[in-house]
Structure 1
Amino acid sequence: MNWLFNIVDRVTERSVRQVAHRHGRRSFITRLGTGLVGGALLPMLPFDRSGQFGAAHAAGAGAAPKNAKKSDPTQCDYWRYCAIDGYLCTCCGGSLTTCPPGTEVSKVSWVGTCLNPDDGRHYLVSYNDCCGKGSCGECLCNNNERERPGYRLGVHNDINWCMANTNSMFHCTTAIIVGTA
């Protein structure tokens, strides 16, 4: 049995020496580093969860679902607010699409895809924060339907989107339809 270990040891040593002779330490470290960094970045690549979205609404794809959202834009269960996080501008002196006086629309925003129960169609809704005043404090809504992780910032609602503006104070959020899904 000892002779078998000697053969395996010699073959392994010869193979390792040949590899070391052909490749330097730097190339090994480069490949190792590339593998480690690539492996760490792999979970951060974008991925598509639209299959989950389609399965969730497949039953009511052409008609309004039984638990249709209300049509009052001052309530959190209004259909456009499916991915909103903030105070509703409709309760703070603004409207669904305009900021209240004394505030300005954020330079960046996030988007959601919401089902309109009246026509059974999905719409892309842009959520724009209104900036420049302290928080409104009325009608706080936090709906996270199909929210993506924080590294997908365009569809993540837990960020102060007013940070891109000169005055980064958050006041309220609008819900503007930008197209159909």
Structure 2
Amino acid sequence: MQRLAVVLLAMGATFSDHLPLSAQANCGQWHRCGKCGCLCSCLGGSDTACPPGTSPGGAWWVCGYASGRWWLIRYLDCCGPRNARPTCPSGCSCNQRCGQPPANQNWCPNPESNAAYCTRAQVWSQC
């Protein structure tokens, strides 16, 4: 866990105050700080389910600080055929970590033919 926290801190992430997870998904929520890509809720999915026609790909984990505690956050890509990838609707694209590992990886199986349509963000537990 310490290694994950060090990776996140090295990326220069900052965290805002803890927001309720039941709030409408938006890129400004603290647990989306390591995200690069479209919000799944904008494509018919959520943080607990991939949109129709997609399937879960690989995941990456970070530790983020909010409300006086370190939290383990899992980012999970939802994948589908590269040639059918929809355009992310306006206001739904989170670009906090684009171009920086691990967010810039294609975590989908068969990356030559599959692409990430969106990324789910889930707070799992304390680090």
- TM-score w.r.t. the length of structure 1 is 0.51
Structure 2 portions without partners, runs of 5+: none
Counterpart among 97, 100, 120 of residue 174 in structure 1: 120
Instruction: Choose between structure 1 and 2: higher helix proportion.
Output: 1
Equivalent residue, structure 2, for 1:110: 60
Aligned residues of 2:59 and 2:75 also touching (Cα < 8 A) = yes
Aligned residue for 2:108, secondary structure, equals helix
Deviation at 1:73, TM superposition (A): 4.2
Equivalent residue, structure 1, for 2:93: 140
Deviation at 1:82, TM superposition (A): 1.1
Does 1:100 pair with 2:48? no
Return the alpha-carbon distance in structure 1 between the equivalents of residues 5 and 93 of structure 2.
27
Aligned residue for 2:114, secondary structure, equals coil
Return the alpha-carbon distance in structure 1 between the equivalents of residues 38 and 103 of structure 2.
12
Structure with higher RCO (Cα < 8 A, 6+ apart): 2
Aligned positions of 1:16-165 closer than 5 A: 50=6, 53=9, 67-68=16-17, 70-71=19-20, 72-106=23-57, 108-116=58-66, 119-132=67-80, 133-138=84-89, 139-144=92-97, 150=101, 156-164=102-110
Instruction: Choose between structure 1 and 2: higher strand proportion.
Output: 2
Task: Give the percent of matched residue pairs that are identical in Structure 1 and Structure 2.
Answer: 30
Return the alpha-carbon distance in structure 1 between the equivalents of residues 120 and 86 of structure 2.
14
| Residue type of the alignment partner of 1:113 | C
How far does the alpha carbon of each residue in 1:138-176 deviate from its partner, in whole angstroms, 9 at most, with x for none? 2010223xx9x65xxxxx111111144795132111012
RMSD of aligned alpha carbons:
3.4
Deviation at 1:121, TM superposition (A): 2.0
- TM-score w.r.t. the length of structure 2 is 0.69
